[in-house]
């Protein structure tokens, strides 16, 4: 007997998988990669999740990249958005449909998730859980061990593959029951409960809406939204300003030949800025002024900004753009 366990990287999904393991069922941990994880959580995410799964379940984590297909969700989700651009119900349905497609190849009989009734207001109330199960095509085959005692009996329970009395009735946002269960299973080094989805972030959502409005939604552009300060200069031109040395290097590394890179000369501390789109002389000057606004001028009134385009280098001396004029351009 086998079950696919969807692993988010948090404690709940690992606990759910472990509960099913305790029933003598082979658990196949599966993580879906999507493009909307916070950078601090995603840069080493695969390694940290894999380590947690290996230590807690003694299994190897399977990761499947669904980033490209996932982008369609933010265009027009059937069940709408949360407080920002988070289509939580559609997201869960989408992932479960993907998991269902993999069941045959994994020789799995059902799916396990770590959802808890009442834990999240949009997607984990009773009606939402029922909708997710039905719309994913997994009616009776979706087992949520942490709150199964509060839900309808599933096929694994009816067939005796899993004993219902060994499942749990966790409800609400309280974390202590999960932490106590983790202690019982000797599961350690799990992350603190916190939101990792950028679609719940207001600033990121505003940037994403701008991409959609200007028909620029794509994986590379979404990844770029995670770096720096963003400015919309025209309908087709964007400027991204690095906030620290790390981001400056990242922006320089992702620049394409047709992009513009702006930075102060070697005598001035300041950001690297990446320009995308069709630039004219006025937009080059405006971008240099924006770059200059974030430079350390040491009371100087002008700053020399260097820029490159199509492997050619240029320089321009400008006065920084007054900060009060940035707000109209900043996303």
Same domain, 179 and 41: yes
In this predicted structure, what is the pLDDT of residue 312?
94
Query: For residue 41, what pLDDT band results from cuts at 50, 70 and 90?
Result: very low
Of 142-151, 185-194, 207-216, 318-327, minimum mean pLDDT range: 185-194
> Per-residue pLDDT averaged across 299-328, rounded?
91
**Residue 192: per-residue pLDDT:** 75
Would the pLDDT of 101 be above 50? yes
- Tell whether 104 and 166 lie within a shared domain: yes
Within-domain flag for 260: yes
Beta-bridge mates of residue 312: 309
Judge if 7 and 64 occupy the same domain: yes
Examine residue 213 and state whether it is found in any structural domain, yes or no: no
* Secondary structure of the chain in HEC code, one letter for each residue: CEEEEECCCCHHHHHHHHHHHCCCCEEEEEEEECCCECHHHHCCHHHHHHHHHHHHHCCCCEEEECHHHHHHHHCCCCCCCCCCCCCHHHHHHHHHHHHHHHHHHHCCCEEECCCCECCCCCCCCHHHHHHHHHHCCCCCCEECCCCHHHCCCCHHHHCCCCCHHHCCCCECCCCHHHHHHHHHCCCCCCCCCCCCEHHHCHHHHHHHHHHHHCCCCCHHHHHHCCCCEEEECCCCCEEEECCCHHHHHHHHHHCCCCCEEEEECCCCECCCEEEECCCCHHHHHHHHHHHHHCCECCCCCCEEEEEEECCEEEEEEECCCCHHHCCCCEC
Residues 178 and 239 in one domain: no
Supply the pLDDT for residue 42: 47
Q: How far is the C-alpha of 11 from the C-alpha of 114, rounded, in Å?
A: 8
| Residue 209 in domain | no
- What CATH number does the domain containing 172 carry? 3.40.50.620
Q: Can you give the residue range of the structural domain that contains 22? A: 2-184
Q: Of 184, 211, 243, which one is at a domain's C-terminal end?
A: 184
From 39-43, 82-86, 278-282, the region with the lowest mean pLDDT: 39-43
Do 60 and 166 sit in the same domain of this protein?
Answer: yes
Is 50 exceeded by the pLDDT of residue 35?
Answer: yes
Residues 18 and 158 in one domain: yes
**Are 180 and 290 members of one domain?**
no
How many structural domains does the chain have? 2
Same domain? 63 vs 165? yes
Specify if 169 maps to a domain: yes
Do 169 and 80 share a domain, yes or no?
yes
With cut-offs at 50, 70 and 90, classify the pLDDT of residue 152: very high
User: Does 47 score more than 80 pLDDT?
Assistant: no
Q: Looking at the domain assignment, is residue 216 inside a domain?
A: no
- Identify whether 274 is part of a domain: yes
The more confident residue out of 158 and 191 is 158
Examine the domain organization and report whether 142 and 12 are in the same domain: yes
Residues 120 and 248 in one domain: no
The domain boundary, picked from 184, 202, 218, lies at: 184
Choosing from 123, 152, 184, the residue where a domain stops is: 184
Q: Residue 196: inside a domain, yes or no?
A: no
- Separation between Cα atoms, residue 249 and residue 304, nearest integer Å: 20
331 within some domain: no
How large is the average pLDDT for residues 271-293? 96
pLDDT value, residue 45 = 56
Share of the chain above pLDDT 70, in %: 97
Over residues 243-267, the pLDDT tens digits come to 999 999 999 999 999 999 999 998 8
The yes-or-no verdict on residue 27 having pLDDT over 80 is yes
Clarify whether residues 120 and 238 are in a common domain: no
- Average confidence score pLDDT of the chain: 93
pLDDT at 190 over 60: yes
């Amino acid at each position: 007997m086998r079950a696919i366990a969807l692993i988010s990287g948090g404690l709940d999904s690992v606990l759910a998988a472990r509960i099913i393991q305790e029933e003598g069922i082979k658990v196949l941990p599966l993580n879906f990669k999507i493009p909307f994880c916070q950078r601090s959580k995603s840069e080493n995410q695969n390694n940290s999740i894999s380590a947690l799964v290996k230590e807690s379940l003694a299994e190897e984590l399977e990761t499947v990249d669904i980033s490209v297909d996932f982008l369609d969700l933010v265009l027009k989700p059937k069940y709408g958005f949360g407080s920002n651009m988070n289509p939580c119900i559609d997201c869960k349905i989408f992932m479960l449909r993907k998991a269902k497609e993999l069941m045959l190849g994994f020789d799995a009989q059902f799916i396990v998730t770590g959802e808890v009734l009442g834990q999240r207001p949009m997607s984990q109330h009773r009606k939402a859980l029922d909708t997710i199960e039905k719309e994913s095509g997994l009616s009776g085959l979706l087992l949520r061990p942490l709150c199964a005692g509060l839900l309808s009996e599933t096929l694994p329970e009816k067939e005796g593959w899993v004993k219902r009395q060994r499942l749990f009735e966790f409800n609400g946002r309280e974390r202590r029951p999960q932490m106590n269960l983790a202690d019982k299973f000797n599961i350690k080094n799990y992350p603190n409960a916190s939101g990792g989805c950028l679609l719940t972030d207001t600033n990121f959502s505003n940037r994403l809406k701008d991409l959609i409005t200007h028909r620029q939604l794509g994986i590379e552009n979404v990844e770029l939204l995670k770096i720096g300060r963003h400015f919309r200069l025209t309908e087709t031109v964007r400027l991204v300003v690095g906030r620290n040395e790390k981001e400056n290097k990242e922006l320089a590394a992702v620049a394409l030949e047709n992009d513009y890179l702006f930075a102060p000369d070697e005598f001035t501390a300041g950001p690297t800025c990446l320009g995308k789109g069709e630039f004219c002389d006025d937009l080059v000057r405006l971008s240099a002024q924006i770059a200059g606004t974030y430079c350390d001028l040491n009371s100087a009134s002008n700053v020399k900004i260097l820029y490159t385009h199509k492997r050619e280098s240029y320089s321009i001396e400008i006065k920084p753009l007054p900060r009060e004029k940035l707000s109209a351009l900043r996303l």
